[in-house]
Structure 1
Amino acid sequence: MTATTPWSLHPDRALPADPVLRPLAREVYAATRGLPIVSMHGHVDAALLADDAPFGDPAGLFVTPDHYLVRMLVAQSTSPHGSPGVRGVHDLGVAPAPGAPAGTAPAEQDPRAVWRRFCAGWHLYRGTPTRYWLEHALVEVFETPVRPSAETADALFDHLADRLARPEYRPRALFERFRIELLATTDPAQSSLADHARLAADGWGRRVVPTFRPDPLLHVDRADWTAQVAELGAAAGTDVVDYRSYLDALRARRAAFVAAGARATDHGHLTADTTPLDDADAARVLDAALRGDVTPDQARAFAAHMLFQMAAMSAEDGLVMQLHPGVLRDHCAGVAHAYGPDRGYDVPERTEYVRALRPVLEAFGHHPRFRLIAFTVDETTFSRELAPLAGVYPALRLGAPWWFLDTPDGMRRFREAATDTAGFYNTSGFVDDTRAFCSIPARHDLARRVDAGHLARLVAEHRLDLDEAVETAVDLAYHLPRASYPSPAGRVR
């Protein structure tokens, strides 16, 4: 394909290459490709849909907010084969954070320049899931005629800018076009949920729901913890002065989220430790944090304790508890200080689950009101730890491959590693975990294709009948996500 050849995508992309498996995979995939999308974990801002304003420009939509794109271009910034003009995240439109050190490079202000740098580095994404998602969005959503390159950058920018100015490319119109049935956002615990209230007033309250994310409030050694707790108290209508008022404020905010339609909480701790403290010990740590003299060991113990408390509260109010441990955030402190978090410098590390989750599972693993969905970026734990746990505790579901693992090969390895012990029905179904709104259908499409390939192999090996494979694929794509994230009002009491 040359730079000027009309761009199209192969209908069998990501399906098995084996000539025996491919026809079977096509048949399985055909049963899921048109299903509605149930997107129960992601980071699309509710304001995007509440405002329903036109997207700005191609660089602001595709490049600057996407840490997958940014990290690859920055990683190749000194390579002779990299993307010309990229020296750091600022060259891709990322603005300095509030309080950034003096001399921090300002963000590139010309979106066309950012777009040119991205297009010149298009070859860097070969073989990555980012390439698949971008191709799907550019071709299937925006009818882009040619693939990105240094030569086509300006023409593509103009093409996309024209599309983005049209009403049928505004967020709500695309939401309908993507066949999204239900979308969960991720929101700070102290959020006013004003954007969700606006959506509810417009009749979208059952289609876009919030998710309770209390992480900054549970890590008492954060530099901004005191300010975060003050915001929590203000949102809950109470003063947080001790451990009891702290728990009461968290419960009040959870209740507000449930009233706004929330179905889940979300926790991104570094470890999966859920070891509880005695109430007196927890109170002493909280008091120390309020005074500003908490130790790192106390903070780690309190974070684990609060995961246990979040599980206890989920057993009370029915919110599904999601746990996403194992990522060392902001590996480069200098970049985080200068440009803020989520700039591509988050790195997975080894994570232990068997002992870490034992306190919560012993306490609530058979509780009819409790559900825990455990995710990992340490795929060595799928078969050794997580699948055996999910295969016996009724409250535990194994989350879909996430972040560094939501790749074609990563998702195949997940099915092969987890299904032997957990089966299909102790998993959550696919979640896209994305901030990139236009990539949602691409990510779900890729998961459906990979599952079709895995199920096709089971049919070819006479381990499943074709009708069972089709039924399972439909369940994985649609029914399991809905069942894994029920409304709290519908949970068994």
Structure 2
Amino acid sequence: MMSSTERWRLDPDRCFDSDPARRRVARALYATVRDLPLICPHGHVPPALLADPAARFGSPAELFIIPDHYVTRMLYSQGVAYEDLGVPTRDGTPVARDHRRIWQRFAEHFYLFRGTPTGLWLADELISVFGVEERLTGESAERIYDHLEARLADPSYTPRALLSRFNIALLCTTDAATDTLDHHRALHAQGLTFVRPTFRPDAVVNITAPEWRAQIQRLSEVAGIDVVDYASYIRALEQRRAAFKALGALATDHAAETPATERLTPREAEAIFARALRAQATTEDAQRFTAHMLMEFARMSVEDGLVMQLHIGSLRNHHQALYERFGPDRGADIPVATEWTRNLRPLLNAYGADARFRLILFTLDESTYSRELAPLAGYYPAVLLGPPWWFFDSVNGMRRFLDAVIETAGAYNTAGFNDDTRAFASIPARHDLWRRVTCDWVAGLVVQGLLAEDEGYELARAFAYDLAARAYRVAEADR
């Protein structure tokens, strides 16, 4: 049991197997990749946080609790109300404003994160980034809050300062198709060209969403094209992709409940789009239009070279009351079963063997790893597998992924790691967890005689850096 005077520390061998031979190899592999620069090709850090040199994180509660759905969903599951965590409501009705009290609640419930990746990330952030030396509990909450407040007031702890300290070689944000990209222009004007946008068109594709027509109006404005029919809609999307690419974008990102793909005829696509403009589109229309647009976005990627990412299998906003009160991205998204082999067949038959096309697949349905995804990636030249995502970016989730896919797909048909986070200060901790787990997994192959030692070092580096750089064509973009 940790005493009140014992310093809070991270186990230097965390994530490594207890077998001495395997642990020795894992340590040696990890030592060679630990300090490699971070490639962050997919994430949700707001570019506004980095574009302004004077920007600050706010209070400890604003940094660690209020915006982090990994944190709020766990506390909610144990009866802590979102209002008591300071999560803002859609209609502006009052929620807790005392950030010290919010922090106190969080600290009293910090034990809930034992054994979770969130607990590992938070401990790593608090210890490694902010220099906290005592474990977070209800008793220590006030002292740690004071310590963090002092750190966050220090110029060496601004977002810009940490961006430099974190040794990030590439940081891609996720931006709506309708974004003006003004923050990215500001970043590039200041020489921070390694921060790049990613094209996310979901809001202008989901034709039955209540705000869809407002999004189409916004698309018209930013593209400078009056979107009045399907043809002008496609032109506007192509214009926006070109604007993103001009600011260094490497990829697009598409979220859908299923990976269904279907090629509509021009007449069918125009008819559905016209019904959507009249607010008469049906659920079937929306499903077919999304499936068709995935085909269209693949066609555009062949033409403009942007890597296409598919994030599939989340039933968004499962808790209707929470969505109505607090909005999306609050932790109530739940995985659903998915089917890839038949759903992706139209798209892969059209583009899967095209050398110009790259498609990175992410799923929340682990049962498809070995049955469908690894065989698809192990055959189609265009397909790569993204890392374990969201609910599975954990120690055991990563291990299960590696065990399930590598024997069939091969490591070099995977896309390395991305942190996919909104929590900027957690980026190094997330990458470190991946590097530790992959080094331990590779060490297992070495001690079993399945890999030569020099191959183990090459594979450890590939998982840590090379695969992500290759998947997102980083070197090509820098030329």
Same fold (TM over 0.5): yes
1:340 aligns to 2:341 (yes or no): no
Distance 1:125 1:340 in 2: 24
Give the match for residue 280 of structure 1. Answer: 267
How big is each residue's C-alpha offset from its partner over 1:441-465, in whole Å with a ceiling of 9 and x where there is no partner? Answer: 0000000000011101100110001
Give the match for residue 55 of structure 1. Answer: 57
Distance 2:266 2:260 in 1: 17
1:223 aligns to 2:214 (yes or no): no
Instruction: Choose from 142, 155, 169 the match for 1:167.
Output: 155
1:72 aligns to 2:74 (yes or no): yes
Say if 1:242 and 1:489 are closer, same or farther in 2 by CA, change over 3 A: farther
Distance 2:468 2:96 in 1: 40
Say if 1:490 and 1:41 are closer, same or farther in 2 by CA, change over 3 A: closer
- Unmatched 5+ stretches in structure 2: none
Distance 2:468 2:164 in 1: 19
Give the match for residue 95 of structure 1. Answer: 88
Instruction: Choose from 430, 435, 444 the match for 1:448.
Output: 435
What's the CA shift for 1:467? Answer: 1.2
What's the CA shift for 1:20? Answer: 2.1
Say if 1:183 and 1:35 are closer, same or farther in 2 by CA, change over 3 A: same
Give the match for residue 30 of structure 1. Answer: 31
Give the match for residue 368 of structure 2. Answer: 381
SS at match of 1:425: helix
Counterparts of 1:279-428 in structure 2, within 5 Å, are 279-428=266-415
Aligned residues: 477
Distance 1:54 1:238 in 2: 37
What's the CA shift for 1:5? Answer: 2.3
How big is each residue's C-alpha offset from its partner over 1:380-423, in whole Å with a ceiling of 9 and x where there is no partner? Answer: 11100000000011100000000001000000010000001111
Residue type of the partner of 1:443? R
Distance 2:224 2:5 in 1: 60
SS at match of 1:324: strand
1:485 aligns to 2:478 (yes or no): no
1:119 aligns to 2:112 (yes or no): no
Residue type of the partner of 2:158? R
Give the match for residue 154 of structure 1. Answer: 142
Give the match for residue 252 of structure 1. Answer: 239
What's the CA shift for 1:3? Answer: 4.1
1:319 and 1:488 in contact (8 A); partners too: no
1:369 and 1:491 in contact (8 A); partners too: no
Instruction: Choose from 176, 187, 192 the match for 1:199.
Output: 187
2:69 and 2:331 in contact (8 A); partners too: yes
Residue type of the partner of 1:274? T
Residue type of the partner of 1:58? P
| RMSD (Å), alpha carbons | 1.3
How big is each residue's C-alpha offset from its partner over 1:353-400, in whole Å with a ceiling of 9 and x where there is no partner? Answer: 101111111111111211000001111111000000000111000000
What's the CA shift for 1:346? Answer: 0.5
Distance 2:319 2:77 in 1: 13
Instruction: Choose from 461, 466, 470 the match for 2:453.
Output: 466
Deviates more, 1:416-425 or 1:167-176: 167-176
Moved over 4 A (4+): 487-492
What's the CA shift for 1:277? Answer: 1.1
1:137 and 1:442 in contact (8 A); partners too: yes
SS at match of 2:435: helix
